[in-house]
Amino acid sequence: MELLTQEQRAQSLENAMADGDQEPGCYYVGVDVGTGSVRAALVDQRGSLLAFADQAINKWEPQFNHHEQSSEDIWAACCTVTKKVVQGIDLNQIRGLGFDATCSLVVLDKQFQPLPVNHEGDSHRNIIMWLDHRAVSQVHRINNTKHSVLQYVGGVMSVEMQAPKLLWLKENLRETCWDKAGHFFDLPDFLSWKATGVTARSLCSLVCKWTYSAEKGWDDSFWKMIGLEDFVSDNYSKIGNQVLPPGASLGNGLTPEAAKDLGLPAGIAVAASLIDAHAGGLGVIGTDVRGHGLACEGQPVTSRLAVICGTSSCHMGISKDPIFVPGVWGPYFSAMVPGFWLNEGGQSVTGKLIDHMVQGHAAFPELQAKATARCQSIYAYLNSHLDLIKKAQPVGFLTVDLHVWPDFHGNRSPLADLTLKGMVTGLKLSQDLDDLAILYLATVQAIAFGTRFIIEAMEAAGHSISTLFLCGGLSKNPLFVQMHADITGMPVVLSQEVESVLVGAAILGACASGDFTSVQEAMARMSKVGRVVFPRLEDKRYYDKKYQVFLKLVEHQKEYAAIMKGD
């Protein structure tokens, strides 16, 4: 855990007063449940983090493409980190609590006890994680219906959404899970229920992952058509028939039981939650950019793209009117910024892919040993190693003959094709540290080319984007950030608070407390520019050529598949 010193806290208080805050010393707690860990922060009204704590969480992969977690483990981790960040604080100053989490599916029985989502019957593992691809046959059948709700998920439903997973449970675990289930929650809604006892769902999760429409509600014909008519007949009580906008205050706030678990006062405001990428979006997209020489200064907020890069990357672009982008999720109304439509592009594995490439290389043990000897992270070591071997040329030029297609877990956007696989071309017989570093660089570049591919699809459909706002674990990697700037040709804004997703969660708590009149006001007050990374335009020709190769890779992959399917 990192806590500010007394002087830093005093300075933060002084800054708050100078900034004209009505009530200096009002704090909010944000809790962010990512794929790999749970994080909490104590945040003030200016969006500064006063304390941060994190804890890893368990994941199970009982078979290929099955990924599971435990809601009890996750709640326990939320309690541990929250207790840590409020240590030594006058609890009366804490005004609100906000949660965000991955869009995983939590299953509970009618008494709110965990139910197994696996053949082993292990009820501790009651979460089907977002990246779980077990429901391939179900999602194909759903997409074959061509139902009109699919227009609002980019034309093709993803296997990572909830409808195919629910259908899988009905078809595969009828007695042990489906028939006993009383409540199916998106993980962010599970957390807000745990804190308040209120089962209302957030508009964010229902619209983005469950086909709910902010304007029309549930579409009975969809659930009947896909074989989940059960939900219609019980008036959607198991998946949510009370829906609130993110940031709305839930019930009577924190229950005494949850207050005890979390080490917070009972009754403080708890917000309707957000999916993690959307919290990251709130944490960065509304920031005041004046004075940084950015094209988006003085332009509508719709010229900004928030890119939340953790285990996966999510590309969040907003618009005043709905924009239908083939292969890009949405348009979703009011799912992130109230009153705006959201398109969400994505890459299903980015952080996980970089880790996979690096850890699977023969030179990984050597890398680990060398990084440890220098007290550096493996990524800091690799970045400095690349600087050493690049000699006089720009670092990105080291991959002139090494190219990667990054869809090791299928393509989320803009091709929406889960059958696609990863590709590497340009391998040599040597497997030393130089090769590892260059493969790592080519992987980082491939992810940035994927972002460029998504932006081009969004622009072709009507978005006009000039500036990227990056956050999430990968935004701590300077190479990843510079490659995104160079390859997209756009400046990248990094927030003052590196943990911007937590600022987004705290913004929710601040809204629920009533301290701000709108999400927009809280975003403008609590998010701040830290650093801007500009593209090195002199390298553009090189990256344009590599992008041509990038697009050829997928074209070729499709040709190979067609050859193998032919007689």
Ligand X SMILES: O=C(CO)[C@H](O)[C@H](O)COP(=O)(O)O
Ligand Y SMILES: Nc1ncnc2c1ncn2[C@@H]1O[C@H](COP(=O)(O)OP(=O)(O)O)[C@@H](O)[C@H]1O
Positions touching ligand Y (CB under 6 A) are 34-37, 310-311, 351-352, 354-355, 377, 379, 472-474, 476-477
Contact 515, 45 (CB under 8 A): yes
What DSSP element (H or E) covers 329?
Answer: strand 329-333
Contact 274, 511 (CB under 8 A): no
3-state SS class at 334: coil
Select the residue interacting with ligand X from 12, 70, 102, 451 (CB under 6 A): 102
Count residues near ligand X (CB under 6 A).
15
379 binds, options ligand Y, ligand X, none, Cβ within 5 to 8 A by partner type: ligand Y
Report d(CA 285, CA 340) in Å as an integer.
12
Position 451 contacts ligand X (CB under 6 A): no
- Choices 49-57, 71-79, 171-179, 307-315; region in contact with ligand X by CB under 6 A: 307-315
Residues in CB range of 124: below 8 A, 6 or more apart = 70, 72, 73, 114
Instruction: Take residue 125 and report the two structure tokens written for it.
Output: 């593992």
Closer residue to ligand X (CB): 205 or 249: 205
Site residues for ligand X, 256-275, by CB under 6 A, read 275
Closer residue to ligand X (CB): 59 or 558: 59
Select the residue interacting with ligand X from 49, 57, 270, 277 (CB under 6 A): 277
Position 12 contacts ligand X (CB under 6 A): no
55 binds, options ligand X, ligand Y, none, Cβ within 5 to 8 A by partner type: none
126 binds, options ligand X, ligand Y, none, Cβ within 5 to 8 A by partner type: none
Position 103 contacts ligand X (CB under 6 A): yes
Instruction: Take residue 475 and report the two structure tokens written for it.
Output: 């935004």
Nearest approach, Cβ of 210 to ligand Y (angstroms)?
A: 21
Residues in CB range of 131: below 8 A, 6 or more apart = 35, 67, 160, 311, 312, 348, 349, 352, 409
Contact 114, 124 (CB under 8 A): yes
Site residues for ligand X, 200-239, by CB under 6 A, read 208
Site residues for ligand X, 125-164, by CB under 6 A, read 130
399 binds, options ligand X, ligand Y, none, Cβ within 5 to 8 A by partner type: none
476 binds, options ligand X, ligand Y, none, Cβ within 5 to 8 A by partner type: ligand Y
130 binds, options ligand X, ligand Y, none, Cβ within 5 to 8 A by partner type: ligand X
491 binds, options ligand X, ligand Y, none, Cβ within 5 to 8 A by partner type: none
Closer residue to ligand X (CB): 97 or 274: 274
Closer residue to ligand X (CB): 53 or 268: 53
In the 8-state DSSP scheme, what is residue 321?
Answer: S
How remote is the C-alpha of 92 from its chain's centroid? Answer: 31
CA dihedral 336, 28, 520, 277 (to 10 degrees): -20
With CA atoms as reference, report the closest residue to 295 among 303, 305, 285. 303
Nearest approach, Cβ of 186 to ligand Y (angstroms)?
A: 16
**Per-residue DSSP letters for 250-288?**
PTTSS-HHHHHHHTS-TT-EEB--EEHHHHHHHHHTT--
- For tokens 């701040």, the residue is 528
With CA atoms as reference, report the closest residue to 112 among 255, 210, 264, 275. 255
Select the residue interacting with ligand X from 202, 211, 303, 312 (CB under 6 A): 312
What DSSP element (H or E) covers 8?
Answer: helix 6-18
277 binds, options ligand Y, ligand X, none, Cβ within 5 to 8 A by partner type: ligand X
Q: List residues binding ligand X (CB under 6 A).
A: 34-35, 102-103, 130, 208, 275-277, 310-312, 314, 344, 346
